[in-house]
Chain A
Amino acid sequence: MTPKEKQENPGKEGKREVVIPGEIISEDENDLPGEWTVKSGKNIVATRLGVVEKIDRLVKVIPLSGVYIPRRGNIVIGEVKDITMNGWLVDIGAPYTAFLPLRECHGFIEESEMENVYGIGDLIVAKIIDVRRTSIDLTMKQKEKGLGKIREGLIVKVNPHRVPRIIGKEGSMIRLIKEASKCVIIVGQNGLIWIRGENLENQLFARKAIEFVIENTIAEGLTEKVEEWLKENKLKLKEEVKEN
């Protein structure tokens, strides 16, 4: 499964066997070592805890745990750590600190204004435009909605490897939760999720729904389970909102 296919068929990997570092995952010398594998003689060996994926001759491992591995095109949510002359250093939970250059922001920003636009400690939603060996570049100049500073709303932090499950097949799972909670939800591929709603109760409801998905991530028929959970708890939510 390509990452795209994984996004569209989440949860399938839960049924496959977990492999550990050092485990031989192919003995065919014609196979090619993909991500998180190494060639060892004529064998291919996994280097991370995960599940194996084979497409044609390419054998790779999809990790189940560990820090976020950045990819070009990912939408991420990060925390501003520092401001330099020409941009912002942002922590996106990856092995390396990401960088948002001044030139990747809309409009003209004076050096003295940088702190006000994005200050240290602020959370921002951005897109990764480039990943090199030890650096990650971000941009705000994309057509996606929601890029920019997070001023209010709720933040949930999850294992980045669970993100495909939360988004669901063609976005179906997250759509269910958005509709039921009446919230705007932006899911960062690095495991941070931003929930924005009319009131605190709706936001907390959306967060609980996401936590429910995480707890039942390898379950069969998760979509049905989530639909049921949402129906049950929506009534409670209505009462709570009335009270306040």
Chain B
Amino acid sequence: MTYKERFDKRDFKEMRPIDAKIGVVPNADGSAMFSFGDTIALASVYGPKTLTPKHMQNPEKGILRVHYTMLSFSVGERAKPGASRRSQEISKVTEWALSPVVRLDELPGTVIDIHIVIPQANAGTRCAGINAAAMALAHAGIPMTEMISAVSVGKIDDKICVDLIKEEEDYEEGEGATDMPVAYLSNSGKLTLLQLDGRISTEKFEEALEAGKDACKKIFELQKKVLKEYK
């Protein structure tokens, strides 16, 4: 019982203040910003457009190409520009998180490019990226059957926490830190992102899943509100 109060004094199941905007990249077909406190993600979408060269096309359905990158000055110790193994993995799980709801079978032979950039990071970047990307896809008029919302949940020592900050991810006392980014679909309530890093009992795991679901509902309300303000 070492983690009695969160570093930033939030309730254990409380998220940082969230914010969102669409249209942040005028050149793109769709774009959005999403933030959890001081973690900010920008996303822009180009497409659907015919994929060239032709041999790379999928004649059955469209392709989502996700590219996630952090700016070198988004973190304390400078991150070298360019892809890293971490950013490649995040790009892939993001693609898997978004693609189940995109009506790619209506768009054979095309590609939809999703670019996610993190200008400022304090944990939860892949979740902020998914939230921004989901809004950017809707803004770009890409047909989707549901919206997607993501949040990082975890267990810090013995407490289930929602929306972890970096200090919490690095926590080493007591039971240490278990980090679990999740993404839920708005209608079916199914999970499209689930990763886990740490040690957690099955009971606490279920508690974390529920906490994540509740937080994602709130995130969805914000995404909905901002999209409905589109003019």
Contact = CB atoms under 8 A, between A and B. Distances in A.
A65 B110 contact: no
Contacts of A121: none
Contact of B146 (A21, A48, A95, A133): A21
B143 interface: yes
Interface string B87-102: 0000000000000010
Given A20-B227, A45-B187, A95-B49, A36 B109 contact: no
B187 A48 contact: no
B29 interface: yes
Q: Which of A14, A20, A36, A66 counts the most chain B CB atoms within 10 A?
A: A20
B31 to A, nearest CB: 11
A32 B147 CA distance: 22
How many residues of B sit at the interface, in one of the four size bands?
Answer: 20 to 34
Interface string A49-85: 1100000000000011111000000000000000000
Contacts of B110: 95-96
B141 A65 contact: yes
Interface residues of A, number: 29
B145 A134 contact: no
A22 B144 contact: yes
A14 B229 CA distance: 11
Contacts of B141: 48-50, 63-67
Interface in B1-40: 29-30
Contacts of A26: none
A108 B228 CA distance: 52
Contacts of A22: 101, 144-147, 185-187
Contacts of B108: 133-134
Contacts of A67: 29, 47-49, 140-141
Contacts of B230: 18, 49, 64-65
Contacts, number: 88
Contacts of A133: 108
Contacts of B107: 95
A64 B109 CA distance: 24
B191 to A, nearest CB: 16
A223 interface: no
A222 interface: no
Interface string A8-41: 0000001001111111100000000000101010
A7 interface: no
A64 B140 CA distance: 9
Contact of B143 (A24, A36, A40, A218): A36
A66 B231 CA distance: 13
Contacts of B190: none
B50 interface: yes
Nearest to B220: A22
B218 interface: no
B67 interface: no
Nearest to A36: B143
Contacts of A17: 228
A105 to B, nearest CB: 23
B213 interface: no
A78 to B, nearest CB: 13
Given A18-B227, A20-B224, A134-B108, A65 B143 contact: no
A64 B108 CA distance: 23
B138 A49 contact: yes
B182 to A, nearest CB: 18
B214 to A, nearest CB: 18
B220 to A, nearest CB: 9
Interface of B: 29-30, 47-50, 101, 103, 107-110, 137-147, 185-187, 223-224, 227-231
Given A65-B139, A95-B48, A96-B109, 18 more contacts: A17-B228, A18-B230, A19-B228, A20-B223, A20-B228, A21-B137, A21-B143, A22-B187, A45-B146, A47-B145, A48-B138, A65-B140, A66-B30, A66-B141, A67-B140, A95-B107, A97-B50, A218-B231
8 contacts: A14-B231, A19-B228, A21-B144, A22-B146, A22-B185, A38-B145, A40-B187, A48-B142
Which A-B residue pairs are the 4 nearest by beta carbons?
A66-B141, A21-B144, A22-B146, A95-B48
